Amino acid sequence: MIYKRSSQLFAEAEKVIPGGVNSPVRAFKAVGGTPIFVKSAKGAYLLDEDGNKLIDYINSWGPMVLGHAYQPVVDAVIEKAKLGTSFGMPTELETEIAALAVSMVPNIDKIRFVNSGTEACMSAIRLARGFTKRDKIIKFAGCYHGHSDSFLIQAGSGAVTFGSPNSPGVTEGTAKDTLLAKYNDLDNVATLIEANKNEIAAIIIEPVAGNMGCIPPAEGFLQGLRDLCTSNGILLIFDEVMTGFRLARGGVQELFNVNADIVTFGKVIGGGLPVGAFAAREEIMNYLAPLGPVYQAGTLSGNPLAMAAGLAMLKALNNEPAIFDRLEEKTAYLAAGIDRVLKANNVIFTINRVGSMISVHFDENPVVDFQTAAKGDNETFKKFFHGLLKEGIYIAPSAYETWFITDALTYEDLDYTINAIDKVSKTF
């Protein structure tokens, strides 16, 4: 494939945009080469500026559960835009999508819309601190909750890709209130809690990790966190920016039958438009202004375009539960095919999968946390990435990212992908 136009556009972008991109992982630093510039997308496919058609396995990092340019979402945005794009005032639409979201997700009474997953997680932490009147939080190495200062401590994903998991610009005062735990290690969490008795406001976690590749929670791990939080007066926050409305109608809380105190959302809840949200039971959410003392605000929060797109998406997911079964079946089919061809070609690998999230790690040992994810063979991953790109398949340009499957993928697409992986892996 030829990427002349993308190369030209990247050179132009570098002159006026830091690194030529508006989000670091797009820069291809982890895999080498030049970023692909997208012109359009439809269903399961991307069309780049050079006219190449690519099967898409990142799907805007998750929200395109039903494919790109899903017609009900497109129609909703167009019709709403005709009436005005932003008011900074309440609209009936906000209440309609809020009521639907609350009806779909277990253990939440109220929801507040914001503009990004980062903002949702940042606000959830502030709310937890205000509610508990404690300052410290626990996060897990390799989990990414956005680029707010509190979270840039071994943040996984883009931060690891660039070799600076502790970002300059984060003050020591902020860093000292963030305690770092090991994913899937309850004893480690219990030790941190004991060492900081009555000081921890919240534990925040990607309940299925997606920013060190897809890493499932070990059996009993999430319930163990729930029990530790309950017995120590700590709020449990599930960051479902990636998993919410993707792994199940009610997200991970429904999938694993474990209740969080606060849940954060993004991506899907806006149908792919810039959006985020956080939700909890009433007694916690009533601590927010204007009812309570914890301040949070935003002119574009609940903006009509994002709300229209999100409502169309959530209605589709709510009205057809079989979507989640199809996603599960397609992802299982893909995983089985990849497993078969990589074994046939004597490639050392591990596949992790939960629902429609999947990742391939080039290491023979189980990948259960940030430390084991970091042991993967990145040189093999680079060959894998560029080999698939040549075959017209786009996966995340980082070994620390999950793939996201869309219902728009056909079994022909999946078979083509499996055959391409067979071809590429023969060259390792």
pLDDT tens figures, 347-368: 999 999 999 999 999 999 999 9
Q: What is the pLDDT of residue 154?
A: 55
Gap between the Cα atoms of 273 and 113, Å rounded: 13
- Same domain, yes or no: 194 and 96: yes
- pLDDT, tens only, 260-278: 999 999 989 999 999 999 9
Residue 308, number of CB atoms within 10 A of its CB = 26
Q: What's CA 140's distance to the chain center, in Å?
A: 15
- Same domain, yes or no: 98 and 147: yes
- Same domain, yes or no: 86 and 152: yes
Residue 203 forms beta bridges with which residues?
138, 236
- 194 pLDDT higher than 60: yes
Q: What is the pLDDT of residue 162?
A: 40
- Same domain, yes or no: 224 and 276: yes
Lowest mean pLDDT among 172-181, 196-205, 281-290: 172-181
Lowest mean pLDDT among 126-140, 142-156, 183-197, 319-333: 142-156
Mean pLDDT of the region 67-75: 98
When pLDDT is cut at 50, 70 and 90, the band that residue 176 belongs to is confident
- 92 pLDDT higher than 80: yes
Residue 239 falls in the annotated catalytic set:
yes
What token pair was written down for 61?
A: 């990092």
- CATH code of 369's domain: 3.90.1150.10
- pLDDT, tens only, 122-144: 999 999 999 999 999 999 999 98
What token pair was written down for 213?
A: 């590749």
Mean pLDDT of the region 65-90: 97
Gap between the Cα atoms of 136 and 159, Å rounded: 22
When pLDDT is cut at 50, 70 and 90, the band that residue 160 belongs to is very low
Measured in Å, how far apart are the chain's first and last C-alpha atoms?
20
Catalytic-labelled residue, pool 48, 185, 239, 377: 239
Chain position carrying tokens 């932490």: 125
Gap between the Cα atoms of 161 and 104, Å rounded: 35
When pLDDT is cut at 50, 70 and 90, the band that residue 167 belongs to is low
- 240 pLDDT higher than 80: yes
- 159 pLDDT higher than 70: no
- Same domain, yes or no: 136 and 250: yes
- Same domain, yes or no: 142 and 284: yes
- 158 pLDDT higher than 50: no
- pLDDT, tens only, 383-424: 999 999 999 999 999 999 999 999 999 999 999 999 999 999
Q: What is the pLDDT of residue 129?
A: 97
Domain edge (last residue) among 300, 319, 338: 319
Q: What's CA 231's distance to the chain center, in Å?
A: 29
- 12 pLDDT higher than 90: yes
Range of the domain at 340: 4-69+322-425
Q: What is the pLDDT of residue 258?
A: 98
Catalytic-labelled residue, pool 144, 183, 394, 400: 144
> Model pTM?
0.94
- Same domain, yes or no: 348 and 221: no
- CATH code of 174's domain: 3.40.640.10
Would the CA dihedral through 83, 85, 87, 88 be positive or negative?
positive
- Same domain, yes or no: 260 and 343: no
When pLDDT is cut at 50, 70 and 90, the band that residue 153 belongs to is low
- Same domain, yes or no: 296 and 379: no
Q: What percent of the chain has pLDDT over 70?
A: 96
- 184 pLDDT higher than 60: yes
Structural domain count of the chain: 2
Residue 291, number of CB atoms within 10 A of its CB = 11
- Write the CB contacts of 315 (distance below 8 Å, at least 6 apart in sequence): 72, 100
Residue 164, number of CB atoms within 10 A of its CB = 13
When pLDDT is cut at 50, 70 and 90, the band that residue 146 belongs to is confident
> Average pLDDT, whole number, for the chain?
94
Residue 267 falls in the annotated catalytic set:
yes
- Please say whether the beta carbons of 238 and 251 come within 8 A: yes
Domain edge (last residue) among 260, 285, 319: 319
- Same domain, yes or no: 53 and 80: no
- Same domain, yes or no: 185 and 105: yes
- Please say whether the beta carbons of 232 and 211 come within 8 A: no
What token pair was written down for 39?
A: 């012109």
Q: What's CA 354's distance to the chain center, in Å?
A: 13
- Please say whether the beta carbons of 114 and 298 come within 8 A: yes
Mean pLDDT of the region 153-163: 47
Residue 390, number of CB atoms within 10 A of its CB = 12
Gap between the Cα atoms of 76 and 92, Å rounded: 15
Gap between the Cα atoms of 71 and 398, Å rounded: 30
Long-range (24+ apart) CB contacts under 8 A made by 358-366 are 358/214, 358/331, 358/334, 358/402, 358/403, 358/405, 359/213, 359/214, 359/401, 359/402, 359/403, 360/384, 361/213, 361/399, 362/399
- 165 pLDDT higher than 60: no
- 226 pLDDT higher than 80: yes
C-alpha distances out from residue 323 to 78, 89, 313, 375, 417, Å:
25, 34, 12, 35, 21
Mean pLDDT of the region 49-75: 97
C-alpha distances out from residue 150 to 147, 168, 236, 265, 384, Å:
8, 12, 16, 18, 34
Gap between the Cα atoms of 251 and 245, Å rounded: 5
Domain edge (last residue) among 269, 302, 319: 319
Q: What is the pLDDT of residue 314?
A: 98
Residue 392, number of CB atoms within 10 A of its CB = 16
- Same domain, yes or no: 338 and 238: no
Catalytic-labelled residue, pool 70, 267, 330, 407: 267
Q: What is the pLDDT of residue 233?
A: 98
DSSP state letter for 288: B
Beta strands in 45-176 (DSSP E): 45-48, 53-56, 110-114, 136-140
Q: What is the pLDDT of residue 148?
A: 80
